[in-house]
Chain A
Amino acid sequence: MSSEPIIRTENLTHLYSEGLSSEVAAIHNINIEIMQGEILAIIGHTGSGKSTLIQHFNGLLKPSTGRVFVDGKDIWESKQATRESRFKVGLCFQYPEYQLFEESVYKDIAFGPKNMGLDENETGIRVRRAAAFVGVDDDMLERSPFDLSGGEKRRVAIAGVMAMEPKVLVLDEPTSGLDPRGRDMVLDLIGNYRRQTGNTVILVSHSMEDVARLATKVLVMNDSQIAMCGSVEQVYSQGTLLYEMGLNVPQITRIFMGLRSHGIDVNDGVFTVEQGRNEIARLLKSRGVQK
């Protein structure tokens, strides 16, 4: 891991309707450093500025004031730098399956790499590699994307961004609307992708359970600003504060917060069911309970 952040923002502010009476800051004075290899989860209520923020990472939005650096380079310093940021930071929007449009799955995944100017051969290699990551078999590549199930379409759309092999993969609500099985497949593939490539992943999510499973770091946005930034443990231990911001903590965390408020000496740091099981076992053992 290098010590230079892969993405860094400096006093980043974005105003909508700039100069009009309806002017509003969608994000205000954001300073963050995102390191190589992290899985950063960005959480916050609707309208808190999450989507506006991520659209600055590859130059889709231009800062009203402040700067954005990708790989140490100011992305607005030249046209070329802006273009490079598009390929270094791959953005997968919410409900990306609505953006599939080609006549075959292969062509849809190949769209990004072709746009980068890669030749047929390299494009083919990348399409197959990305398809393998998301669990799309070779025989599915020739099918029309419109014949696939919702979960399959979602994975094809994610593969389309992965095929550009960006240094940073940004996913806006990658599991929303999926059923539990589809959700688990997407979460697993994100984890595998990160482990195998070592690339940075940024995840925007409303699901505190998903975030607890994957993230190495959590950024909480509230009213256009950074409200908290830290490990899952640090952020999830602020249950009351999160609730006030319109967020929540996982059910399992609420159970242990409840036990604690009843005077039981349990650990605050319970975010998954497995951790809960171990914590109860530890507690009973410390009290010498025989089962």
Chain B
Amino acid sequence: MKETLIEFKNVSFSYDNEEQTPSQAVKDITFSVRKGEFIAILGHNGSGKSTVAKLTNAILLPEKGEVLINGMNTKDESLTFDIRRTVGMVFQNPDNQIVATIVEDDVAFGPENLGVEPAEIRHRVDEALKTVGMYEYREKEPYKLSGGQKQRVAIAGILAMQTECIVLDESTAMLDPRGRREVMNTIRTLNREKGITVLYITHFMDEAVEADRVLAMNDGEIMLDGTPHEVFAQSEKIRAAGLDVPQAAELSQMLIEDGLNLGRVALTVDECISDLLAILEVSR
């Protein structure tokens, strides 16, 4: 078993609300993330997903309970710097997180703030841009890039800080299909080849099935936690919580209801094709 990177222990959080009685965004949740895991977090708007994301790097602090990052308690202000150096975040809107007028300056912003040596910054920026496939755009102006390219620059900015974990909060929501593919491929490569831990918040079920583990949130609580197959097999719970199942899973479930012996609920296009081929070949 690999060591734990993120640990939530009985964490609750409420937003201050002047007019209404405060409602708990996150209710007594406990879970942990091991180093190198790729976890997708699902949930309807207001289910607490983004609150969980912001609790992981001390943007928000728990009201009750504790969040530990590599054993560091986020409530300890003297550790905030080290925590943010461990967990980096990419947000939804690509235009709201670029600060510089040249791509490579933007990527250098993080390590500069950490006080990294200039020669080392140069090295890290080049490496990070190569990793996300944006090296040839290093001297371009960010506003001329597509949404997917901007998000990859934002990811490079985090890599240049050499964080161990990246949290993406609906980072593909505003992108076109190509942009979504670019970001997803980048994240998968970082996870598999660089061992970076990923928390991936999304409304797109076809992205969630690519993760090793899926957490489905509902009304501030973790409703389901398991492999994509385990979680999406609970399609009634998933739908009741206002979420979708991938179309491949929907089709397999319908066909199983129709009496077809598929053996499992497929989650991806390839799984579904091979399950159907197995049945169709026999009947040929």
Contacts and interface: CB of A to CB of B under 8 A. Distances in A.
Interface of A: 45-47, 147, 149-151, 176-182, 206, 208-209, 246-248, 250-252, 254-255, 258-259, 262, 264, 273-274, 276-277, 280-281, 283-284, 287, 289, 291
A246 B179 CA distance: 8
Interface residues of B, number: 40
B179 A46 contact: yes
B7 interface: no
Nearest to B179: A46
Contacts of B247: 209, 250-252, 255, 273, 276
B99 interface: no
A149 B248 CA distance: 31
Given A180-B242, A264-B277, 7 more contacts: A46-B179, A149-B45, A177-B174, A179-B45, A206-B176, A259-B273, A273-B254
B226 interface: no
A265 B4 CA distance: 50
Interface in B109-142: none
29 contacts: A46-B175, A149-B45, A149-B46, A151-B45, A177-B170, A178-B203, A179-B44, A179-B243, A180-B44, A180-B203, A180-B244, A181-B242, A182-B44, A182-B45, A206-B175, A206-B177, A247-B178, A248-B177, A252-B251, A255-B273, A258-B273, A259-B280, A262-B273, A273-B251, A274-B254, A276-B254, A280-B255, A291-B258, A291-B260
B93 to A, nearest CB: 9
Interface of B: 19, 43-46, 92, 146-147, 170, 173-179, 203, 206, 242-244, 246-248, 250-251, 254-255, 258-260, 269-270, 272-273, 276-277, 280, 283-284
| Closest 8 pairs between A and B when the two form their complex, measured CB to CB | A246-B178, A181-B242, A291-B259, A251-B247, A258-B273, A248-B177, A252-B247, A180-B244
B112 to A, nearest CB: 30
B176 A46 contact: yes
A206 B181 CA distance: 13
B176 A246 contact: yes
A171 to B, nearest CB: 16
A149 B284 CA distance: 53
B283 A287 contact: yes
A287 B279 CA distance: 12
A179 B201 CA distance: 12
Contacts of B206: 251
Contacts of B242: 179-181
Which of B259, B260, B280, B283 has the largest number of chain A CB atoms within 10 A?
B280
Contacts of A258: 269-270, 273
A209 B203 CA distance: 14
A252 to B, nearest CB: 4
B276 A259 contact: yes
B208 to A, nearest CB: 12
Given A150-B45, A289-B283, A259 B277 contact: yes
A248 to B, nearest CB: 4
Contacts of A180: 44, 203, 242-244
Nearest to B275: A255
A72 to B, nearest CB: 34
A54 to B, nearest CB: 16
Contacts of B251: 252, 255, 273, 276-277, 280
Contacts of B146: 45-47
Nearest to A261: B273
B45 A178 contact: yes
Contact of B177 (A179, A208, A264, A291): A208
Contacts of B280: 259, 264, 283
Which of A46, A178, A258 has the largest number of chain B CB atoms within 10 A?
A46
Contacts of A206: 175-177
Nearest to A264: B280
Nearest to A280: B255
A182 B47 CA distance: 13
A284 B273 contact: no
A22 B46 CA distance: 44
Nearest to B17: A147
Contacts of B243: 179-180
B55 to A, nearest CB: 20
Given A149-B45, A273-B254, A45 B176 contact: yes
A224 to B, nearest CB: 15
B217 to A, nearest CB: 11
B98 to A, nearest CB: 16
A274 B43 CA distance: 25
Nearest to B238: A180
B273 A281 contact: no
Contacts of A277: 251, 254-255, 258
